[in-house]
Amino acid sequence: MGDAMKDGAELVVCTTCRLPGFDPVRDAGRPRDGARLSDALTAAGVAHRRQECLSACARGCAVVFRGPGRWTYVQGALDPDRDLPDLLAMIRAYAQAPDGVVPWRQRPEVIRKNTIVRIPPSEL
């Protein structure tokens, strides 16, 4: 799946995100949830960019789908232990959409419910 993104499309994963309930004392030494999501994508063979803090802390784990001539989507509330299959489905759908627009009904439910923002291409 490493070549799933095409035409300059890119997936960016916030590695500093924490899911609600993260306790700095209890969870000390445990990798942050965003880093675990990135690791799971790497294990699945998905090329992506790791980024510290996307400033979506209240909606972590957050990822960005973007590319030239494409709509950009910022997604939140992704659980690396639960949502990886849905994220992989969205990655495939986004890569296949020439303008990045994946029809709402074709998006996995976790994506539909947790889109933080949708940004038009700068070329518009």
29: its two tokens: 């030494």
Is residue 56 one of the residues assigned to a domain? yes
Q: Mean pLDDT per segment of 10 residues, for the chain of length 124 residues?
A: 66 93 83 95 96 92 95 96 96 94 95 95 79
- Strand blocks (E) in the chain: 10-14, 49-51, 63-66, 72-75, 115-119
Question: According to the model, what pLDDT value does residue 4 have?
Answer: 54
pTM, entire model: 0.89
Q: For residue 93, which of 3, 15, 4 has the smallest C-alpha distance? A: 4
The total number of structural domains in the chain stands at 1
Is residue 2 one of the residues assigned to a domain? no
Domain that holds residue 112: 10-119
- Rounded-to-integer distance, Cα 47 and Cα 45, Å: 6
Question: According to the model, what pLDDT value does residue 12 have?
Answer: 98
Is residue 83 one of the residues assigned to a domain? yes
* CATH number of the domain encompassing residue 83: 3.40.30.10
